[in-house]
Structure 1
Amino acid sequence: MKHRILFLLTAILISLSGMAQDNVTGILLNEKGKPVKKIKMRIKGRMKMLSTSSKGTFELGRIKAGDTLLIYPNRKLVAYVPMLDLPTYTIHLGKNSLRYATNEKTITCMYQEIPGQTYNNNIITYEKIQQLDANNLIDLLRGNIAGLQINYSDGQMKASIRGSSSFALSTEPLFIVSGTEYNSLEEANNAVSVEDIREIEVKKDGSEYGMKGANGVILIRIK
């Protein structure tokens, strides 16, 4: 019996060691070998976005074999970087690709257009949400939808859609979060977490929602 318990404990320890997660550090350099600051990146499958420091450095936590690092050289492109058994990375950003060296070879990762990227000014896609690194719905909407204005008034943050006409006292659009209606930006902001948002669509013509949509409608689709 003791031998069986010892065998099980050993098997568990081996399994846990195979799943061990470590911190990884690195630096991003341009073609001239100078550090590049404020380059956004994240681990695939995680929402949290990181940026390189003023010295081009970065640190990643809980990295395990098989993870993929997504690096965004700009808002339209992404590079998929396989995380290998390296404690630190020196990554060189080129015009069309990036590269880094291991003990055995140099790995090149071509830039690709961000999947599902849309240039519809009325939609904030899931991919763009991941890049923006917003803390809440207000941060996410501010400056990212053409014609949508976010202002502080009467002690609250309020939204308005340029060109909409209203017959009601409020000038805010109707917010719909996964089917639930909210009459103000503050209410919608308190009702949803950025991590759960899949897509945001702004309908400047909200006539299909009747009088409630007179100021437009903001549809928030969540996971």
Structure 2
Amino acid sequence: MERLITQAIREERSADLHRLRLANCGRYVAKQLHYFEQALTKHRQAKAARKRAETEQALRRAARNLSFAVEAMKERMEREQKEGQLFFVDDQIAPPYRFSKRMNVRVSYRWRRTVDDEWTFDSITFVHDVDLRPDYATPVTKRKPSAAKLEQNLQNRLYQTWEHLMRGALCSVRDYFRKGGDGNKIPDTYRVTVDSYSRELNNYSTQFWRQQP
């Protein structure tokens, strides 16, 4: 990869680099590849010496970012393969058709203490009651919205909350196992905590182990 990146900079074209199919290595790598190709195009089109010096500097910076992204992806894959021998958290969680004040996110997982043990399959359900009291810091519009618009706004707000809850739930279960947590101590249900000031979810809301003795 490093050789092909250097070649792309020297030849000012990235055709050979495409053989590696970096665009299929996840959104982060694909985005950095896109930035590299944009920088390559700008450098190729630059004519004046000063402009080419600027575009070359930007191109080499984009090349370093692309290399870093690929290395980070490889390290993540290696870590996940190693972790997968002891635990797996299912992140395929579909949102409900319609959202309500009471939210439930069920995270399924499997785990074992050693690679010689049998898998244990279980789940934890995170429960959250959304505080729907109005936010008085938000300016009030002069024109009163229709009932349909109010319902749409509410569903959008609840969807954003559900996404936050879902992501936090997944991260909490993964972090728990990554820290060597005992799967037998994961509760079946956990009522999440909220920020005492904003009354909303924060980075600690789904950390179920903080409530355990």
TM-score (ref. length: structure 2): 0.21
Whose radius of gyration is greater, 1 or 2?
2
Higher RCO (CA < 8 A, seq sep 6+): 2
TM-score (ref. length: structure 1): 0.20
Query: Greater share of strand residues, 1 or 2?
Result: 1
Query: Greater share of helix residues, 1 or 2?
Result: 2
